């Protein structure tokens, strides 16, 4: 344990930030899984209602990823990669349905 007052304070701040970042990362992962699951559901049975659900979940995931990047929880390239993965999954299933 640190002996200097400022070092003790930095330890507590680092722990606070770690928990905050962990919450953001967990939320991003959860929303990505929900989005991918809704895309799979839409691919199995395409209809306008399910497409609306896919768009809603995609929008929520994009929003959370952008906020995590803005706050410095995720690197910008990591956020871009996650968004690309989601859009690629959606495109892959909607193109195969349209064909």
- For the entire predicted model, the pTM comes to 0.85
Conformational region of residue 72, where left means phi above 0, alpha means psi within -120 to 50, and beta covers everything else? left
76: pLDDT strictly greater than 90: yes
CB contact at 8 A, 63 and 46: no
Domain count, the chain: 1
Q: Is 66 exposed, middle or buried (0-12, 13-18, 19+ CB in 10 A)?
A: middle
Distance CA 44, CA 36 (A): 12
* Confidence category of residue 97, pLDDT binned at 50, 70, 90: low
CATH classification of the domain holding 35: 1.20.58.110
Check residue 72 and report its DSSP letter. Answer: T
89: pLDDT strictly greater than 60: yes
Place of tokens 């410095």: 72
pLDDT in tens, 17-48: 999 999 999 999 999 999 999 999 999 998 99
């Amino acid at each position: 344990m640190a002996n200097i007052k400022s070092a003790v304070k930095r330890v507590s701040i680092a722990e606070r930030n770690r928990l905050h970042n962990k919450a953001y990362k967990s939320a991003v992962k959860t929303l990505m899984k929900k989005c991918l699951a809704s895309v799979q559901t839409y691919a199995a049975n395409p209809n306008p209602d399910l497409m609306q659900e896919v768009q809603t979940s995609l929008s929520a995931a994009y929003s959370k990823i952008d906020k995590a990047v803005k706050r410095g929880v995720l690197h910008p390239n990591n956020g871009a990669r996650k968004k690309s993965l989601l859009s690629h999954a959606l495109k892959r299933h909607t193109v195969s349905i349209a064909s």
